Amino acid sequence: MATNLFVGNLPYSMDDARLSDTFTQAGTVVSAKVIKDKYSGRSRGFGFVEMASDEETKKAIEMFNGKDIDGRPLVVNEARAPKTQG
């Protein structure tokens, strides 16, 4: 089962393709998306990566959480579903 990862503290130069390329070191990337500001189009400094398996997800967290990329230590953990009101 594929798992979504939250990737925070991304360098602002990071784009979807580079994020995907980076995480392929841990396994098969299903999708990679850098979240951009809808008005300026600039990166908001975080994104999401979906890995193909739980094993690859764990490996990606071990490999990249705290890893320095362009002077910024990444924050990588399992993405949590948004809380619903009610």
Contact indicator for 72, 82 with CB cutoff of 8 Å: no
Tell me the pLDDT tens digit for each residue of 19-58: 999 999 999 999 999 999 999 999 999 999 999 999 999 9
User: Under the phi-then-psi rule, with left for phi > 0, alpha for psi from -120 to 50, and beta for the rest, what region is 45?
Assistant: left
pTM comes to 0.90
Give residue 86's pLDDT: 55
- State the DSSP code for 74: -
Does residue 84 fall inside a structural domain? no
Tell me the pLDDT tens digit for each residue of 48-76: 999 999 999 999 999 999 999 999 999 99
Q: What's the CATH code of the domain at 52?
A: 3.30.70.330
Give residue 81's pLDDT: 72
The domain tally of the chain equals: 1
DSSP H helix total and E strand total for the chain:
2, 6
Domain that holds residue 62: 3-73
Give residue 29's pLDDT: 98
Give residue 3's pLDDT: 82
Nearest C-alpha neighbor of 7 from the set 75, 78, 82, 81: 75
